[in-house]
Amino acid sequence: MRLRRGVPCAVLAACLTGCGGVDGGVHVEGPAMTTIPWTGPVYITDWYGRAWQRPEEIDPTMRLSLSRLTWRDWGSSRARATGVATDDTCVSGCPDGNETPPSYRVDVVLSDPVRRGDVSFYSHASLTPVHPPAPFWARYANDTDLVVPDA
């Protein structure tokens, strides 16, 4: 009877000592596991809180509108576009009559997507003039945080 009880204990002891008895600890081979990148729809919100994907025109801030946007890399960590930025608040002094407010050509980079449920929203925008320098009224619009819906 004592022999029957001793056999399972001996087998258990052999298994436990066999797992940790290797000199030098655990040896890992091959590349480290990487996180699986999340993929799903990515949006930008306008000043009014509406979500858009690849908008041709958008008002990302109260003072500035973007139009004639041509997007590349939408959905990646950095979406890029070329378009036109317009001074909607007429800080530069809007012309009288039916003329359009001042504008200039820009390269746009949206970055820092923030996940909200099953979608993400770009949280940052950078504008660079295609032909520097940017007009004086665009000085504070070149690097801005975007509205991201609450979690």
| Residue-wise DSSP of the chain | -HHHHHHHHHHHHHHHHHHH--TT-----SPPP-PPPP---EEEE-TTS-EESS-SSB--SSSEEEEEEEEESTTSSEEEEEEEEEETT-TT-PPSTTPPPPEEEEEEEEEEEEEETTEEEEEEEEEEESSSSPPGGGTTTSEEEPP----
Q: Which range, of 75-79, 93-97, 129-133, 136-140, averages the lowest pLDDT?
A: 93-97
Question: Radius of gyration of the chain from Cα atoms?
Answer: 29
* pLDDT per residue as tens digits for the range 70-117: 999 999 999 999 999 987 777 666 656 556 677 889 999 999 999 998
* pLDDT per residue as tens digits for the range 44-70: 999 999 999 999 999 988 888 999 999
In a domain, 17, yes or no: no
Structural domains counted in the chain? 1
In a domain, 74, yes or no: yes
In a domain, 72, yes or no: yes
In a domain, 10, yes or no: no
pTM, 2 dp: 0.69
In a domain, 2, yes or no: no
**Whole domain around residue 108: which residue ranges?**
42-145
In a domain, 27, yes or no: no
Q: Is the pLDDT of residue 33 over 60?
A: no
